[in-house]
Amino acid sequence: MSTKQIMDFSPVLLILILLCGAAHALEDNRCWWKATLCEIKDPATGSLVCFFANQAVSGGMEKQQLSNKVDPIIKSLEDQPVDTKNINYFGFPYGLRIDLGCDNKLDAMTAMKTGLFTGLTPLVILTIGQPVHPTIIKPQNLDITMTAAPLQDGGLCENELCNFGWYVPFPILNGSVVYRIQIISNGLGMGVVDKSYSINVNGLITTQGEENPNSGFGTMGYQFKEMLSLSHPSRPIWPTSKHAPVMIIPGIPGSKAVIFTASEFKNSILIEMGIKSCWVGSYSCPQETFDGKIQEAIIMENTVIIRQNQLLHRFLGNYSILPLKAKSSGAWEEVMRTVCVRKMVPIPTVHGGKEFFYVLGGGINYGSVYRADIEDGDITFSELQDSKGRSVCRFMSEHFKTPIKLCIIRSVSQRGDKKQSDIVVAKFMYSTYDWTYFVMIHDKDFHVRGRLPTFIPEDRGDSFIVADNLKPQSDRFVIINGIEYNPYSRIIYFWGSTLLCSLDEGQTFLFVRGFDVEESSIQFIKYFRFSYHGEFFFVTTLEQVWWGQEGMDRVAPLRPSLGWSTFQSLQMLKGQDISYRMQMSLLTVFWDANKNLQEVVYIEQENRVVKREIPVAEISSYSVFTLAPPQILVYRSHNTFKFPSICPFHWEQLEDLPQPEQYTRIQQYVARPPLIAAPLGLQTVASLATYQGLVHHLLKLHTEYVQDIGDPAQTPIARLWKGKEKFQDYYFYVASNGLSSSGFNIEMDVFSAITAHPDITFPDEIYLDLRGSYTFSIYTSAGVPSDVTREMIKNIWLSAEVSDNDAIHVQVTREELFNRAAVLHKVRISDIGAFPGQALAGEGLMPFTMRLKMSNSDIKCFQQTNLGIESQGVQRMTVYIGCPSGKRLAFDISKTVAECTRLNKRYFDCPNPSVVPCFYYEDLFYPFFLIQDMVLGDSGPFLGSYTLKVVGGGPYSRDNIRYYTQEEILLFNSINYGAMQSLIWTYQEQTQPANRTKEGFTVLTRTQNNIRWICQKNSPCGDLVAQGLMAPDYYFIIEVSNKGVDLSTYCDYALRFEIHVHGFPLAPSRALSFFLISLATICALIFCYIAFHCCGPVFKTMGKAAYEAARQQYEVQRGSDISMNMDDRLHYY
């Protein structure tokens, strides 16, 4: 900024300083919420170790194992509404301590005690992010609002109320490593400024204790002043948006150290990377200069990739809460050893459950591009080639048949479509001063999209400057250093010596105005980043920070600028942040989790790294205010002046916003600590342990809410108090009379799911199913009715822009309210059916952007709110079309049993009932299904079409169940194979025949669901043998799917459940054989009976005669034997 600009600006600056000083005098006692992460050593004794902001730690959670030490505490609560017999309770490794931070004129602890006496209580809203690759159908994207519990600090205390802090448990869920907290007040007591913090899981290096199991990652213990200098340039950070738990600033000259944080630089430390190898260059991979610094670092959900010279190194963190396929690293691992690496290109967004980045080859690999795919810790590298095996440069050389002196790959990006296509920008040099930039799309082959302009045109002061390759308008060359593609808005930005954009993926190009092309010879854009919420920034080689909006025709400088000078002067006047008074150097600029622009600076005087917000709206408002000439008003008694507003309206507000959960798909819970009977309400160690145990159990039930057989009453909240609801009056009586043996009481009503919000805000993201819509209104006031003309009202218009007109439609209805001097716009955002096919819940969603803009309001309209100065006139939203997460199909057992009983006029349950639903074979089976919205906790009837298939089963016992092959499924369920006599069931036609798919599967609906069990002879249930006296029975595994047959939704509802069918008749052949055997047996018995009664006397007489003859013969024989014996004796003597 020039000296003349500062002199012209000084009167306005003086006015702002005086106004701010008067306002600041009213805020001498300003306080805000502070959060400190505390490790819970022993919940039974209340042993905590808190890591405050001045400690050299990462600021993240490094322990991931749950503790069972809260289990005996909760199980001792016999007079509380908890299950003390069937559930094991666990606690979290960390908690949060909440304190007040106040200006110097008010003691923080005094303010905390005053707040406690006046009812002030902090509420902590914890947002748990969705993982890159969800492994369960239940969405992890949820918020839980926890009321903080006051706990007195340990140690001796002579006063009635000693120092204390508010505490809440810090839940962690399997699959989530990114967490965001917002601390707000409960509305009682003094006013406190809300604060937000990021506290993520750090699985890379231990910084919170003496032990360091991950010492292979690096070594800590260095001071910032040992490695940082005010002369060091800034550098970009490359985390995966919304999913990276840590951030790393590389590029410290002459050192292998990086700046490391797991809390968005609330805490940060220096770590020297534990890399042992060092590249010295070779003939195939030459090295111009040697530097041991870490040139680049890409941070993903579980992996860090760094480049040192021409080598890539990888480190996989120790994240036990993530479903990793690979084992965590003990040391840095070198990857792509055979490739000479020139540069890495990050991809900040996630596509299809994977993370990506690109590697540009150098040396012998110059002109080659490699893509890295990371899924659950596994990394795969592949070179971008066409179907003929040609690289980009070889393809272009053969395509244009033009000799190319040099081919340089400038940058690559990911398209984000289902084909995972790539966008490549290559520079083809024909001579030293003759080159062309081409944009290509790569899927399986390369496709040339367009050619970038060669020269930068003159800024004529109108809208976008359309690129024209035919007419060179200046002698300044277009030099491209990189590209950024937003897969949501479908806009590509090309940056380097200028800034261009393309709305059609590289076919046509527009120059963005504002960036001083006169200085393009001395400064270039060094790095560029999207917020993925309609904004972007870039930093130049002169360390200037610029800002812009997608779709806007110009960019604006943030620093240096007139607005920045005003803002910096006001900060120094307030004295709240002394870093603005000191010399500093810019380390990096980034978007935080709340889409606020932040800068990280090094303060050499204090030897610390500080994160500071760059308030874009406030700085822009100061810039607009300083450039608007004042109007001098002459009166008879005096003269005065005023600053006219250049905004076309006075203020705006959003109205008629629907409840957010249905559209944002964020589950919201509320939890409060146990009720303490003590007068001051201070909690005990046991009550806090109980608090975190119940919060963990609630979230555990949340993740387990995926039963196949649906019951609308079995929500996580209902299951939390299962079996205790009927005793709720007794627990209330115990709590009301202070009769609890533990000194505190658990209230069943304080754990709930939020379904209605009194204060609804405009969402950043919504999800729409087939033909779904989102409606709201924008009320815009033109000012005081007496001062507003009709012409002013007619100039208020709202325009809508979408990234793809073939996917979503925005309808805006305008209504002029002349008596109120306002305009009411009713907006309806609708899906128009462009999603291809059907998908599982939350998978394959297609994002699009929608922007609503008041006419002539770009960087002109601002409003003072309790959160500061905010911009007006622009509303942005990302719209996802597809099957929203958290929806599933469930078997409605209650409705099915009721309808089967009503229509069959009977219901025969199994002789030995079990948890598996049971039905009688001879009765018609009428299945009904529910659509369960696990976010809203609601259930409704499924009204679409579906196919039903028996995919498994087994006789007599669940242990005999087996799953059928695909061929067997066709034989047992498809009408096309009816001649094989293998069908298990058939549709019982009553009023009209059912539709069928081409495979022969019957299409059923809610009104056409009459199923008859037939079990033909070649089916698995066609020839069952009875065991004992009971009729045969069979267990079926049934699969229901609406894919391809239901045109009412994008959701592919797939469900498998088990039923038990009893009372099977015998097969005809087996029944006939049983009949013949039985008949033969009966005939034989009758014959024997008749023969016995008719021939009995004859047989009896014959028997007696035979007996007498045998007896006489025996006597004769015996007499003969005696006579012979006597003769022998006489002869002996």
Predicted confidence at residue 462, as pLDDT, reads 66
Q: How far apart are CA 951 and CA 448, in angstroms?
A: 48
Predicted confidence at residue 1084, as pLDDT, reads 85
| Paired sense of beta strands 667-671 and 142-147, if any | parallel
- Scored b (16 or more CB within 10 A) or e, 1070-1098 reads beeeeeeeeeeeeeeeeeeeeeeeeeeee
Predicted confidence at residue 423, as pLDDT, reads 95
pLDDT in tens, 185-226: 998 888 888 899 999 999 998 877 655 544 689 888 788 888
Q: What is the largest CA-CA distance in the chain?
A: 186
Q: What is the share, in percent, of the chain residues with pLDDT greater than 70?
A: 88
Kindly state the average pLDDT of the residues 27-44. Answer: 81
Range with the lowest mean pLDDT among 67-81, 682-696, 889-903, 1107-1121? 1107-1121
- Exposed/middle/buried for 839, CB within 10 Å: 0-12, 13-18, 19+? middle
Q: How far apart are CA 739 and CA 244, in angstroms?
A: 49
Predicted confidence at residue 842, as pLDDT, reads 85
Q: How far apart are CA 1067 and CA 275, in angstroms?
A: 74
Kindly state the average pLDDT of the residues 297-320. Answer: 93
| Paired sense of beta strands 709-710 and 887-892, if any | parallel
Predicted confidence at residue 41, as pLDDT, reads 86
Q: How far apart are CA 881 and CA 772, in angstroms?
A: 9
Q: How far apart are CA 150 and CA 164, in angstroms?
A: 7
* Whether residue 279 has pLDDT greater than 50: yes
Helices then strands (H, E): number in the chain?
A: 16, 66
Q: Kindly indicate the confidence band of residue 17, based on its pLDDT and cuts at 50, 70 and 90.
A: very low
Predicted confidence at residue 418, as pLDDT, reads 80
Predicted confidence at residue 1052, as pLDDT, reads 92
- Exposed/middle/buried for 915, CB within 10 Å: 0-12, 13-18, 19+? exposed
Contact 1025, 1070 (CB under 8 A): yes
Kindly state the average pLDDT of the residues 317-336. Answer: 89
3-state secondary structure 179-200: EEEEEEECCCCCCCECEEEECC
Q: What is the dihedral of CA 740, 745, 747, 748, to 10 degrees?
A: -60
Highest mean pLDDT among 953-962, 1025-1034, 1102-1111: 953-962
Q: How far apart are CA 417 and CA 490, in angstroms?
A: 11
Q: Which residue has the higher pLDDT, 408 or 706?
A: 408
Q: How far apart are CA 512 and CA 459, in angstroms?
A: 9
Predicted confidence at residue 27, as pLDDT, reads 45
pLDDT in tens, 467-503: 776 565 667 888 999 999 999 999 999 999 999 999 9
Task: Classify residue 234 by its DSSP letter.
Answer: P
Please give the backbone phi and psi of residue 224, each rounded to the nearest 5 degrees, phi first: -60, -35
Q: Which residue has the higher pLDDT, 723 or 583?
A: 583
Q: What phi-psi label fits residue 805: left (phi over 0), alpha (psi between -120 and 50 degrees) or beta?
A: alpha
Kindly state the average pLDDT of the residues 543-555. Answer: 92
Q: How far apart are CA 954 and CA 1060, in angstroms?
A: 10
Task: Taking each helix axis as running N to C, give the angle between helix 3-25 and helix 562-574, from 0 to 180 degrees, rounded to the nearest 10.
Answer: 40
pLDDT in tens, 142-185: 889 999 999 888 765 666 677 889 999 999 987 889 999 999 99
Tokens 């209605």 appear where?
A: 756
Range with the lowest mean pLDDT among 28-37, 136-145, 478-487? 136-145
Task: Taking each helix axis as running N to C, give the angle between helix 3-25 and helix 616-627, from 0 to 180 degrees, rounded to the nearest 10.
Answer: 120
* Whether residue 1112 has pLDDT greater than 90: no
Q: Kindly indicate the confidence band of residue 382, based on its pLDDT and cuts at 50, 70 and 90.
A: very high
Range with the lowest mean pLDDT among 540-554, 652-666, 928-942? 928-942
In order of 44, 88, 699, 808, the CA distances from 69 in angstroms are 7, 10, 18, 52
Q: Kindly indicate the confidence band of residue 1117, based on its pLDDT and cuts at 50, 70 and 90.
A: confident
Q: How far apart are CA 41 and CA 895, in angstroms?
A: 50
* Whether residue 547 has pLDDT greater than 50: yes
For residue 631, the one-letter residue type is: Q
Predicted confidence at residue 10, as pLDDT, reads 44
DSSP H or E segment with residue 1079:
helix 1068-1094
Q: Kindly indicate the confidence band of residue 1110, based on its pLDDT and cuts at 50, 70 and 90.
A: confident
Kindly state the average pLDDT of the residues 284-294. Answer: 79
Predicted confidence at residue 335, as pLDDT, reads 93
Q: How far apart are CA 13 and CA 22, in angstroms?
A: 14
Contact 473, 422 (CB under 8 A): no
Contact 328, 276 (CB under 8 A): no
Secondary structure of residue 777 in the 3-state scheme: strand
pLDDT in tens, 94-125: 999 999 988 765 678 888 888 888 999 999 99
* Whether residue 956 has pLDDT greater than 80: yes
Q: Which residue has the higher pLDDT, 17 or 410?
A: 410
Q: How far apart are CA 166 and CA 151, in angstroms?
A: 6
Kindly state the average pLDDT of the residues 553-560. Answer: 91
Q: Kindly indicate the confidence band of residue 641, based on its pLDDT and cuts at 50, 70 and 90.
A: low
Beta bridge partners of residue 303, listed in sequence order: 316
Dihedral sign for Cα 297, 299, 300, 305, please: positive
Highest mean pLDDT among 933-937, 995-999, 1124-1128: 995-999
Mean pLDDT of the chain: 85
Q: How far apart are CA 114 and CA 108, in angstroms?
A: 10
* Whether residue 22 has pLDDT greater than 80: no
Q: How far apart are CA 203 and CA 213, in angstroms?
A: 10
Predicted confidence at residue 7, as pLDDT, reads 37
Tokens 């005996």 appear where?
A: 72
Q: How far apart are CA 1000 and CA 907, in angstroms?
A: 31
* Whether residue 520 has pLDDT greater than 60: no
Dihedral sign for Cα 512, 514, 516, 517, please: positive
